[in-house]
Amino acid sequence: MNCKYNLKMNSDYADATRYMVIKPQNAPLGKKFDEWITASSPKWQRIAVIQLTRYLSLETGYRQDAEEYVETWNENHIEVFSITECIYCKDDRERDALVGILTFHKYNSVPVLYHCYIHPFFRKKGKWLKPGRQLR
């Protein structure tokens, strides 16, 4: 992996830890997030989506209900486009991190954007360009 971000050395990251802000969600060592996270994705990926959704709720004051249960994801036809970044962590290892999400619910087989979110550390860095091109 070619990591651009060293969160260990980033003062914003230290402040986030001190103030208990939800950090970008890391994949387990050696694993990568799926481009599309769905009910069939591993549970750790759905939990990472839920963590970012909770942060969105805290930031906006709008309650976002999300669960990691496969049944809930299937019932609501949830599909999440993941925005990831390679980062260095406290243990000096490279990890794939979920830094943004575009959540879609399918209504009558038509995907509808439900919400989108980019972690504050990764805003204004062109992260919407990749999904914008791929979702056209």
Contact between 95 and 26 (Cβ < 8 Å)? yes
- Radius of gyration for the chain, computed over Cα atoms and rounded to the nearest angstrom: 15
Nearest Cα residue to 38 out of 90, 74, 89, 1: 74
The pLDDT value recorded for residue 9 is 45
The pLDDT value recorded for residue 93 is 74
Q: How many domains does the chain contain in total?
A: 1
Which DSSP letter does residue 21 get? Answer: P
Nearest Cα residue to 44 out of 104, 2, 96, 105: 96
Tokens of 11: 């003062």
CATH assignment of the domain containing 28: 3.40.630
| DSSP SS3 for 103 | strand
List the pLDDT tens digit at each of the 136 positions of the chain. Answer: 555 554 544 555 445 555 555 677 889 988 999 999 998 999 999 989 988 888 888 777 777 666 666 677 777 788 999 999 888 766 667 888 899 999 888 888 888 888 888 888 788 877 666 666 666 5
Give me the domain span that covers residue 100. 5-134
φ, ψ dihedrals at 7, nearest 5° = -70, -25
The pLDDT value recorded for residue 60 is 79
